[in-house]
Structure 1
Amino acid sequence: MGGCASKDKAKTETPGVNGSNTPAPATNEDDVKSEETMVDAAVLEKLEAGFAKLAASDSKSLLKKFLTKEVFDNLKTKKTPTFGSTLLDVIQSGLENHDSGVGIYAPDAEAYTVFADLFDPIIEDYHGGFKKTDKHPPKDWGDVDTLGNLDPAGEYIISTRVRCGRSMQGYPFNPCLTEAQYKEMEDKVSSTLSGLEGELKGQFYPLTGMTKEVQQKLIDDHFLFKEGDRFLQ
């Protein structure tokens, strides 16, 4: 992965919070919605060609289902204000892989608002009617201090795992991350995790320099994703 599809040319840095080069996010929804700047002609050309091929295909993806000509024309000139992500960054995977089930990826957090005309109906369809006005129900973990052994005889539970994924503020999402940004994020995360002690202390595995044996063990233990997901290329 080499960054946004629409960022082939040199990028300029946007001054951010406290004078840093980390862009500051839009302050409110109106700022995001009103953002509409010139999209590069080469990007528009790729979008038009990709949309024509998708429309003529027998793709069953949610992208094709909801990317009507009206929606396409409304979104093709829009960009997210902080990272400048375009519609091409959102739908490139679905344009290149007509057998996708969904066909879109959010390149940054603002994309959900800027390209809401596409994201909202796809999310609603994928999640069986979860509309943009719906809310996640309140959390109720019960009394975690009195949680007993769920399988005292060891007859049913083989293993348990709690896994979470988070994005880092000040960076775009995976489709638009550059190699330099990945390295910068790795340095920040590894430095922070190395300071943990006690039951929180663990081992950090950098992806670069990892032996095949360690890589396979982490895959077998479900800590590491397999390579070769063409939908993310």
Structure 2
Amino acid sequence: MYKNYCNQLEQQKQPQQEKMSDLAELWKKLSGAKYPDECKSLLKQCLTQELFDQLKDKKTSLNGTLADCIRSGAKNLDSGVGLYACDPEAYTTFKPLFDAVIKMYHKVDTINHPKPDFGDISKLDFGDIDPSGEMIVSTRVRVGRSHDGYSFPPCSNKEARIDMLKKTEEACATLPGELAGKMYRLEGMSKTDEQQLIDDHFLFKNDDRMLGDAGGYADWPIGRGIFHNPKKTFLVWVNEEDHLRFISMQMGGNLGEVYKRLVNVSVHAGLFFK
């Protein structure tokens, strides 16, 4: 038992040493790029030598490192932001960097994000915002959500993605009424289903090099899926970039109906993952 424990520690130590070597190379490329001619990302502007030295040895409880967060931005010097959270703890473990980037992106001096509140959907002051149908073709509202206890793309792995897809499929199976539908797993998907999802503009692909360098397409397409109801007014993307993306949509301008549908899904008991 002690021997197995030591082997596990050694296995964890080796990837960590590799990440430190990787971090040095990433920092060399990022810091060596001239601003703004060669790189003007928010990462480039915010990650100073002093801040790098302060954060380089830190890691999250899920073994996320600074290298995981900056890899894509360092490899793609034309990035706009260049920073990916490796897991939920990245926002606290690497807080000075993430706070600086968030403030610059949103052009604010302080971070004081309000607690999420969907409001009372029985008392919405909006409904169909284009009753004549002359201006709005379709309406869409979407939100991103994350499973508790799992890393984000830079540090995720095949087993975690498979587990998240399974949990999401089980949760979606509890959706009532018009929200009930079917999960389409990208792995092993039939050509017929694939073409239909393409025709519906529902299928997501692995063609973003910045997300790819952040780890977003590792083990593609394993652990990815798309759920939608028969009316095609509600859609879930699983492990595209966020763990989950909920999308409510329909033709016309009835924003009220679209929003209510999204809220009903977001608060549905089966979709509060632990």
Structure 1 residues 130 and 214: alpha-carbon distance in aligned structure 2, compared to 1, 3 A threshold: farther
Give TM-score, length-normalised by structure 1. Answer: 0.75
| 2:24 maps to 1:45 | no
Amino acid at match of 1:135: H
In the alignment, is the contact (CA less than 8 A) between 2:26 and 2:67 conserved in 1?
no
Give the equivalent residue in structure 1 for 2:97.
118
Gaps of 5+ in 1: 1-8, 13-37
Deviations 1:63-111 (A, max 9, x none): 1111111000110000112x01110111111111111111110011111
Q: How does 1:119-138 map to 2 (within 5 A)?
A: 119-129=98-108, 131-132=110-111, 134-136=112-114
Distance 1:209 1:39 in 2: 31
| 2:176 maps to 1:197 | yes
In the alignment, is the contact (CA less than 8 A) between 1:39 and 1:79 conserved in 2?
no
Q: How does 1:1-233 map to 2 (within 5 A)?
A: 10=11, 40-57=16-33, 58-81=38-61, 83-129=62-108, 131-132=110-111, 134-136=112-114, 139=117, 144=123, 147-212=126-191, 214-219=193-198, 221-233=200-212
Structure 1 residues 212 and 152: alpha-carbon distance in aligned structure 2, compared to 1, 3 A threshold: same
Q: Partner of 1:164: helix, strand, or coil?
A: strand
Distance 2:83 2:171 in 1: 32
Deviation at 1:130, TM superposition (A): 5.5
Distance 2:199 2:114 in 1: 33
In the alignment, is the contact (CA less than 8 A) between 1:79 and 1:114 conserved in 2?
yes
Gaps of 5+ in 2: 1-9, 213-274
Deviation at 1:136, TM superposition (A): 3.0
Give TM-score, length-normalised by structure 2. Answer: 0.64
Deviation at 1:224, TM superposition (A): 3.3
- After TM superposition, the runs of 4+ consecutive aligned structure 1 residues lying more than 6 A away are none
Root-mean-square deviation (Å)? 2.7
Deviation at 1:194, TM superposition (A): 1.5
| Greater CA drift, 136-145 or 42-51 | 136-145
Q: Partner of 1:40: helix, strand, or coil?
A: helix
